[in-house]
Amino acid sequence: MKGGTPTGQWFTSGGPTGWVDARPASAPVPLSSPHADDPQWITLVPEHRAVYFQFNGVQNGEQETLAQAAQRRGTMLERDDVDRLGIDLRNNSGGDNTLLARYDAWIADPAHAYLTDPESQLNDYACSLLGAKRLREAIAVFDVNARRHPKSANAFDSLGEGCAAAGDTMKAVESYRRSVELNPGAANGKAALERRMRREPRGHGAHA
């Protein structure tokens, strides 16, 4: 329902502006609500002899890393009074898709309003990660750049290069093919696609 001021203990900051929760304040708060913004949260549910694991994102939290959370979860599951594990993935978009939201927020910041070429800067950053052999991180940034610049042949060429370096031939071919579709005259994209189709190894190089 709509109203003037959000009230009630079930209402969260992620709700639409101007909406209120009509459920009684005495109603129990769902386990999924208080920690929806945390990457992961774990708690015992004694009445069900269970461990509740809310897995919202594949990233370290401010108070606990992924490894620490996994260790704590394992310790809980070894308890004699625990028979079940419940995993809540409702807020998990998969992978590190939160990078998209962070990138969009960064671009929307007025402080970056006069940034001339965010695509190029993001691509350069990803290339530096690739050069440092931080393949997974590089691919994540290349992917964000390609998603936010779907008409850029260079963004897809770079994504193909990252995937090729990681040994993901299928994704590399897909990305190179898209790059060539966007810019049929790109010799680098055509050559890279031919190499991937033949599964020939190559090193990474500079981009236009």
Q: What are the residue ranges in the chain where pLDDT is below 50?
A: 1-16, 201-208
Name all domains of the chain by residue range, CATH numbers in brackets.
1-26 (no CATH), 40-88 (no CATH), 98-198 (1.25.40.10)
| All residues at 6 or more sequence positions from 106 whose CB lies less than 8 Å from its CB, including other chains | 112
Tell me 28's DSSP state: P
Q: Which position has the token pair 């897909």?
A: 174
pTM of the model: 0.48
Give the CA dihedral 143, 148, 151, 152, nearest 10 degrees.
-60
Rounded to whole angstroms, the Cα distance separating 172 from 189 reads 11
Quote the pLDDT of residue 61: 78
pLDDT tens, position by position, 112-130: 767 767 888 889 989 998 9
Alpha-carbon gap, residue 59 to 105, rounded angstroms: 18
Report the pLDDT value the prediction gives residue 85, as an integer from 0 to 100: 93
Which pLDDT does position 94 carry in this prediction?
59
Locus of tokens 């990457």: 39
Q: What is the pLDDT of residue 84?
A: 92
Q: What is the pLDDT of residue 12?
A: 40
